[in-house]
Each structure stands twice: as structure tokens, then as C-alpha cells.
Amino acid sequence: MVDPKSDMHMTIRVKFFASLREQIINPNTEVDGSQAKTIGDVWKLATDVPMPPHVLCSVNLEHQEPDAPVNDGDEVAFFPPITGG
Amino acid sequence: MVDPKSDMHMTIRVKFFASLREQIINPNTEVDGSQAKTIGDVWKLATDVPMPPHVLCSVNLEHQEPDAPVNDGDEVAFFPPITGG
Amino acid sequence: MPVLIKPEPFDPIAMQAAHEATLPTGSFGATASFIGTMRNVNEGDDVIGMMLEHYEGMTEKELEAVIHDAKQKWPIDDALIVHRVGAIEPGQPIVLTVVWSAHRAAAFDACRFLMEALKSRAPFWKKETLKDGSHRWVERNTPGY
Amino acid sequence: MPVLIKPEPFDPIAMQAAHEATLPTGSFGATASFIGTMRNVNEGDDVIGMMLEHYEGMTEKELEAVIHDAKQKWPIDDALIVHRVGAIEPGQPIVLTVVWSAHRAAAFDACRFLMEALKSRAPFWKKETLKDGSHRWVERNTPGY
């Protein structure tokens, strides 16, 4: 977990949805933004497991590929294929 | 017009719809079934004008081509391209 | 799978709801519907009224045949066609087609098929009254695809 | 062109009618609508309930983007998307998409586009409760075309 005394602007918030939220046990919901250049880096900092195939990603509510860049203050989310409608 | 004393089973009823009903002045609404082998014959017996292009035809409420056969007692209808919906 | 010809104004949404209430709950997953409404403009001219003529007997028969054909092509639970005839004002519904099915592809395809088949087969004719009081027969339908 | 996320049951037909009442009379000629309803069977199993999860903020944004894209592709007068979230029972509506347009081709195409785009882009996830009390995530959508 991130040191609560660290600058909040240096963190990236991480969210997991649906089956992924149930499968990823105790992920970090904030990671150090200075250590993450891409969404893939955020996954590695937030979890202990490899990213499963077919995981979808977003940055600041926009769909992105896992190699997309991230910045301090971003909200990154991971979720399985969507099944609405 | 058909002689009202003739056998009703020997007549073919003829109907015109929409713009055709307005254009064909005083058509015969019954024609002698013994003189008509096809829908085209019915047109000639019922009107004084050639059949316009794109006229649609039916016999007994079924779409038919102008060369389709007709029989005593049939109801034959002529109408322009349809514009419902 | 009812077919209705309405000489008076009808509420398509209420008719869709009323028919749906007769279907078993949870049985269908997809409802596709189309409503055709009279516009106040056609081909660039202001239109203030319309007379919709039909061939009683044949029209109903063709509408039933259209639903029959849709049932042969797609797995549909139920369908409804309502079509207005007589004197119609702008803003009033002209036609309603609804299809209920398990899945959306069949519902969309069949609902659109009902409209296109209806427009090519069911004997209806529209005569418009323009703003200047003149009348004209509508000569063709707009393309459906 | 509203987008609504509903945590409680909604009446799609009433919502379609209410939104339509805000549009100018006689302006549109074609209304295509789709309602997705929860079935009591999926992939051969009896389903007694469903939890529909979404990503608040992103879901609304994607639905608005879907309508924006439809407006770029077709001449549409208005559109409406309503989507349920939370605990859903069989027979309850899940989604409504409606498009109002001058002509039917655009209405049909755009309504179907809204559904397909929504299903591929808007973050929603379904978890079913089966008759035996077990739960499972729905892993994929049925094909739309």
C-alpha cells in the first residue's frame, strides 16, 4: 500500500470490476505514479498475478490498451469483457 | 355493363384503387368471364384505355402478373404502386 | 400474432404494452419496434393531411402473410402489426410493427422485415393534402435500406 | 438526447412516450426502439435473478459517446438510452434504445447501432443467479448481427 503521508498527486488510483474484482485478492487501490509508465506497469504494481488475457483497461474513464501511458493522478481500471444491454 | 339477367357466376368483378380509381372513367365493374382468359383481358373488357405501366394486379386478393389466368366468379383488382407504412 | 387495421387514431405505445402483457413473463429477451408517424413535410412541401386508402380483405391477408414469412425466417415469439387508414393528421401514427424474440438479432431483423415487406406487398395508398389545399398521390416509398 | 442509468425497475414504453412528448409534433416520421428484457433462461439454465454492475462515470460517458457517434453517421432527430443496474428479476427490462428520425432507414440503422455499440463499449457486467442458488458471471454477449 501507498504510504498515507505521500503526496496524493503522486498516486494512481486503481479499480477492478466484476469477475476481476472477485478474482484479484487484496490489490493495491493506489500505486506510486512515479513507478508506472503504462497501464501494464500499474497492473504489476497493484497485483501479484499476471494480467489475464482479454482484460480490458481504461484511463480516466476512456478505453485504452495495456501499453497506453499513465500519469500521476490518473484513475486506471481493469475489467472483463463487458456484457451489458 | 353486364346484362343483369345473366348468370352471376359468369361474371368477374373488377376493382380499381387509389389514383387508378380516379383516372379510369366509368369502368365496367363486372365483365363476362367467358370472354376473359387473363387479367390483361379483364382490363380490356373493363376499360377503354391501355393498361399503364407499373399497374399492379390481384386475383381473389392475391398479387398476380397481368398474364395470370382468371375464372368466372373471380375478383380482379388493379392498383398503382403501393405506398403504405 | 395480430394484424389490426385502424380507421381511428391509435396509440402505438399503448398497443405494444397491451399486447406484451399477454405474453409469458421472462419468455422473451428482445423487443424491436417501429412506429411510422405522419410528418408535416414531404418532398420539400408542407403537408396538412393525408387520406390512407386500403384494399379491405387483401390488406389484412398480406399483413398476415408478412408475419407468416417472418416466422419462417426467424425464431420469433410474437409479432404485432397495426396500420392506420382514413383521414390522418401530421403527428399521428400510421404504422406500428413489433417483434418479440429471445435474442436481439432476430427481433431487429424481423421487425425491419415486417416494415419492408409491408411496404412492398400490403395494398395501402397515401394521398396528401398540401398547405395550398391541393391533393397528390404519393407515388413511391422512400428506400428502406 | 438523454442517457439514463436506473437502479430501480423502469417502464421502457412509458419512458419512450414521455420523451417523445417533448419533440415537436409532425417533425419525425420514424421511431425505432429496442427493449432488452431479462429472460428466465440463459444458455439452457433456469435463471432466477441477475446483478448488473457498472462503472459509474465511465458508463454514462460511453453511452453519450455512442449517441454522439450515431448522430455523426445518421440524420437523427433524437435518441434515448436507458439502462438498468442493480438487482434484476426475470421479465424486467434491462435496456431501452430509441431513435427518432425523418425516415425509417436511419431510425432502424441508428437504433441497432446504439445497441451494438453499447454492448461493445459501455462498461456493464451481468452476474446471474441460477435456480440452484449458484452465481455465474455472463462471459460474453450473444451475436447482434
Domain positions in chain A are 11-79
With CB atoms and an 8 Å threshold, state whether C142 touches D103.
yes
Q: How far is CA C84 from the centre of its chain?
A: 8
pLDDT in tens, B9-52: 589 999 999 999 999 999 999 999 999 999 999 999 999 999 99
pLDDT of residue C104: 96
CATH code of D3-21+29-137, in short, is 3.90.1170.40
| C111–chain B Cβ distance below 8 A for any pair | no
Q: Residue C139's pLDDT band (boundaries 50, 70, 90)?
A: confident
With CB atoms and an 8 Å threshold, state whether C83 touches B85.
yes
Q: How far is CA D137 from the centre of its chain?
A: 19
Q: Tell whether the model's pLDDT for residue A6 goes beyond 50.
A: no
pLDDT in tens, A42-68: 999 999 999 999 999 999 999 999 999
* Chain A positions in Cβ-Cβ contact with residue D43 (cut-off 8 Å): none
C-alpha cell at B73: 366468379
Q: Residue A18's pLDDT band (boundaries 50, 70, 90)?
A: very high
pLDDT of residue D1: 79
Strand partners, A34: none
Q: Residue B72's pLDDT band (boundaries 50, 70, 90)?
A: very high
Q: Residue D145's pLDDT band (boundaries 50, 70, 90)?
A: confident
Q: How far is CA A39 from the centre of its chain?
A: 7
Q: Residue D83's pLDDT band (boundaries 50, 70, 90)?
A: very high
| A64–chain D Cβ distance below 8 A for any pair | no
Nearest neighbour of C55 by CB, restricted to B19, B77, B81: B77
Q: CA-to-CA distance for B84 and D8, rounded, in angstroms?
A: 40
Q: CA-to-CA distance for D114 and D97, rounded, in angstroms?
A: 7
Structural domain boundaries in chain C: 3-21+29-137
| C112–chain B Cβ distance below 8 A for any pair | no
The complex scores an ipTM of 0.90
Q: Tell whether the model's pLDDT for residue B6 goes beyond 50.
A: no
Q: Tell whether the model's pLDDT for residue D43 goes beyond 90.
A: no
Side-chain-side CA neighbours of C8 within 13 Å: the count stands at 1
Q: Tell whether the model's pLDDT for residue D127 goes beyond 80.
A: yes
Ranges A3-12, A21-30, D52-61: which has the least confidence: A3-12
| D70–chain A Cβ distance below 8 A for any pair | no
Q: From the CA of D60, how many Å to the nearest CA of chain C?
A: 22
Q: CA-to-CA distance for B63 and D120, rounded, in angstroms?
A: 44
**CB A18, CB A80: distance < 8 Å:** yes
| A7–chain D Cβ distance below 8 A for any pair | no
- Comparing D44 with C50, which gets the higher pLDDT? C50
Q: Angle at CA C58, nearest 5°, toward C53 and C62? A: 105
Burial of C27 (0-12, 13-18, 19+ CB in 10 A): middle
Contact residues, D window 33-72, toward C, CB-based 8 Å cutoff: 33-41
With CB atoms and an 8 Å threshold, state whether C125 touches B63.
no
For chain C, the average pLDDT equals 96
Strand partners, D127: D51, D137
Q: CA-to-CA distance for A41 and C20, rounded, in angstroms?
A: 51
Whether chain A lies against chain B with 3 or more Cβ pairs closer than 8 A is: no
Q: At what angle do helices C12-20 and D12-20 cross, to 10 degrees?
A: 180
**CB A14, CB A72: distance < 8 Å:** no
| A44–chain D Cβ distance below 8 A for any pair | no
pLDDT of residue B9: 57
Q: From the CA of A15, how many Å to the nearest CA of chain D?
A: 9
State the CATH architecture for B11-79.
Roll (3.10)
Q: From the CA of C87, how many Å to the nearest CA of chain B?
A: 14
